Amino acid sequence: MRGGEDQPLAGSVMHVKNYVRFEFQSLPENISFARSCVAAFASQIDCTLDDIEEIKLVVSEAVSNSIIHGYGNKPSGKIVITVSILDKKTLEIIVEDYGKGIENLEEALKPTYSSDPSRMGLGFTFMKSFMDEMEVTSNPGEGTSVRLKRSFLAKDKEAYA
Amino acid sequence: MDVEIKQVRNTLVVRVQGELDMLIAGKMRKEIDEKLKDDKIKNLIVNLEKVTFIDSSGLGVLIGRYKKIAANGGRMYIVGAKSPVDKILFFSGINKLVPMYNSEQDIINI
Ligand SMILES: Nc1ncnc2c1ncn2[C@@H]1O[C@H](COP(=O)(O)OP(=O)(O)OP(=O)(O)O)[C@@H](O)[C@H]1O
Ligand SMILES: [Mg+2]
């Protein structure tokens, strides 16, 4: 969705200290792999164990959404994750799928909205709450890209920030 | 096993282990719903002592089972949730519907 295959970091390339990019099939078995990978990479940043747990949660939410909604639980879809460390303390996570996309983004982003009556519509709320920034771009029939960003201040300094 | 189920009189006790994401949540929903076909079962205790992660898929299955149990006039309890799982449960507000206890023993004592 965002940038070309050959330009994985278009837009933020100047600031990037380090990044990883990986892709995998839209299978539920891969969700734990995806969140563990991002968490392992993020541990290069000086953040707490609680922060790492929150990173795992938001990755799980974005990837689950791609599998469930983007690909309708079909295992043949492709999900691409790019994680970048922008400066010593800022993490950016981009989760992209090439699934069905979101028709009405405004509605989808409302707290507790779900297109599936058996779900609670918590995913985007978690992503928004646990990250500083959330940007969702989606084109029906083309796919969805979720960009999440957060800066981690050293815990002892946080109170004075 | 990720999901262990036993029946004590009219109560189903479910012990889950590992990371309660879409993969385990799907399994848990299937196994609980299979048992709930038995009309004798009224109440549900979900033990999350050994759960180290939960996301909205796990929460969705818990809320869904609560609705089933409540519709049938039964009670549901969550026991043993620890950090970071407890924080996510509180954040979702599920604790307002489903009472949370430290251990299975705590429920027997009430
Ligand atoms: N990658 C995606 N592709 C297509 N539609 C999506 C995607 N991500 C989200 N959506 C749409 O946005 C809605 C809201 O997503 P959100 O994650 O907040 O809730 P949910 O997934 O429905 O429920 P929960 O996350 O609590 O299981 C979804 O119901 C779905 O319609
Ligand atoms: Mg979701």
Domain boundaries, chain A: 13-160
Residue B110, min C-alpha distance to chain A (Å): 30
For residue B64, the distance in angstroms to the closest alpha carbon of chain A comes to 7
Active site positions of A, annotated: 61, 65, 119
Considering only the C-alpha atoms of chain A, give the largest distance between any 2 of them, rounded to a whole number of Å: 48
User: What pLDDT is attached to residue A161?
Assistant: 45
Beta strands A78-87 and A18-25, pairing class: antiparallel
pLDDT for the residue A156: 55
User: What per-residue confidence (pLDDT) applies to A14?
Assistant: 55
pLDDT score for B57: 98
Q: Does A124 sit in the ligand 1 pocket, CB within 6 Å?
A: yes
CB-count exposure of residue A112 (10 Å: 0-12, 13-18, 19+): exposed
Find the residue in A nearest to B58 (Cα).
A119
Q: How many CA atoms lie within 13 A of A160 on its CB side?
A: 3
Q: How far apart are CA B47 and CA B22, in angstroms?
A: 18
Q: Which residues of B touch A (CB under 8 A)?
A: 19, 21-23, 26, 53, 55-57, 59-60, 63-64, 84, 88, 91-92
CB contact under 8 A, A28 and B22: yes
Residue pair A48/B39 in contact (Cβ under 8 Å)? The answer is no
pLDDT reported for residue A88: 83
pLDDT at B108: 77
Cβ within 8 Å, pair A29-B23: yes
ipTM: 0.94
Q: Does residue A87 surpass a pLDDT of 70? A: yes
| Closest Cβ–Cβ partner in B57, B63, B88 for A64 | B57
Q: Measured from the CB, is residue A102 less than 6 Å from ligand 1?
A: yes
B50: number of Cβ within 10 Å:
13
Q: Fill in the amino acid letter for B7.
A: Q
Topology classification of domain B2-108 = Transcription Regulator spoIIAA (3.30.750)
- Say if residue A8's pLDDT is above 80: no
Query: Which residues of chain B does A119 touch, with a Cβ-Cβ cutoff of 8 Å?
Result: 56, 60
Predicted local distance difference test score (pLDDT) of residue A155: 57
pLDDT along chain B (110 residues), means of 10: 91 97 96 93 97 98 97 96 97 96 86
Fold of A13-160: Heat Shock Protein 90 (3.30.565)
* Pocket test residue of A65, A73, A102 for ligand 1, highest count of atoms within 8 A of CB: A65
Q: Give the pLDDT confidence score for residue A154 in this predicted structure.
A: 66
- CA-nearest residue to A59 within chain B is B55
* pLDDT of A7 higher than 80: no
Average pLDDT, chain A: 90
Do residues B70 and B47 touch, judged by C-beta distance below 8 A?
no
Q: How confident is the model at residue A15 (pLDDT cuts 50, 70, 90)?
A: confident
Model confidence over A36-64: pLDDT tens digits?
999 999 999 999 999 999 999 999 999 99
pLDDT in tens, A90-116: 999 999 999 999 999 999 999 999 999
pLDDT tens-digit series, residues A117-151: 999 999 999 999 999 999 999 999 999 999 999 99
